[in-house]
Amino acid sequence: MKKVKFDELIVFENDNYVAINKPYGISTLEDRDQTKQSILKIAKENYSDIQVCHRLDKETSGLLLLAKNSEAYRNAAMQFENRETVKIYHAFVEGTQKLDNKLVDLPIMAMKDGNVKIDKEGKESATIFNTLEVFHKHSLIACLPITGRMHQIRIHLASIKRPIVADKLYGGNDVFLSGLKRHFNLKKDTEEQPLIKRVALHAQSLTIKDVNGTSLELIAPYPKDMAVLKRQLEMN
């Protein structure tokens, strides 16, 4: 993966916070392998006292908030802890049944292999889902996590038979243009590539209060791969 330039990721900045559009494939926190990039490591090259206010999975793109000072970090941490923030994720999923404020309230247990499963002995986990757009065989879903467990959105969608596109860990399949477009012809001696090569999940927005109480509504536009997938699903 090529070197990420932090300043090119910024979608909002003031005296207290920097909000970025995190690319997929890069960890939020520093990796055990010190040769690999992480958002925190790159951010510290630009801001000496910066701290990450929350995390996004490595495969997830989107809105990530960082605090530029300790007061700002405490302010954000309290809001996340008290569930006073609003985080909206967008996911492209299999299936076309519309979801209208669908609440999935299923406990999640972390496994030793780094994955999770639904288990009554797990931690309380809740997510609300709403359908934004319906395509021929897929849908675009807005996901509002009430809690913040690892892989929560992914496994909750899988539990209602709406796995996220390309999320093979939880039952999602790749999407190919040949599966969407009639009379699709692939060039001879070429192997068709999926429209998106990672879990089709994006942290679209975050609403949080600044240190002075001002509400910040932060938005991260779709990266290129999500935008391409959406366009192809709409066209076919």
Spatial distance between the Cα atoms of 50 and 173, rounded to a whole number of angstroms: 38
Sign of CA dihedral 29, 30, 33, 37: positive
What is the chain's alpha carbon radius of gyration, rounded to the nearest angstrom? 19
Burial of 194: CB neighbours in 10 Å, binned 0-12, 13-18, 19+ = middle
Closest CA to 65 of 47, 81, 50, 82: 50
Ramachandran class of 161: left when φ > 0, alpha when ψ lies in -120 to 50, beta otherwise: left
Q: State the Cα–Cα distance between residues 39 and 25, nearest whole angstrom.
A: 11
Residue 100, both tokens:
């209208």
Residues contacting 33, CB < 8 A, separation 6+: none
* 3-state SS assignment for residue 95: coil
Burial of 113 (0-12, 13-18, 19+ CB in 10 A): exposed
Q: Which of 15, 33, 57, 167 is catalytic?
A: 57
Asked if 100 is an active-site residue, the reply is: no
One-letter amino acid of 230 = K
Which sequence positions are flagged as catalytic?
A: 57
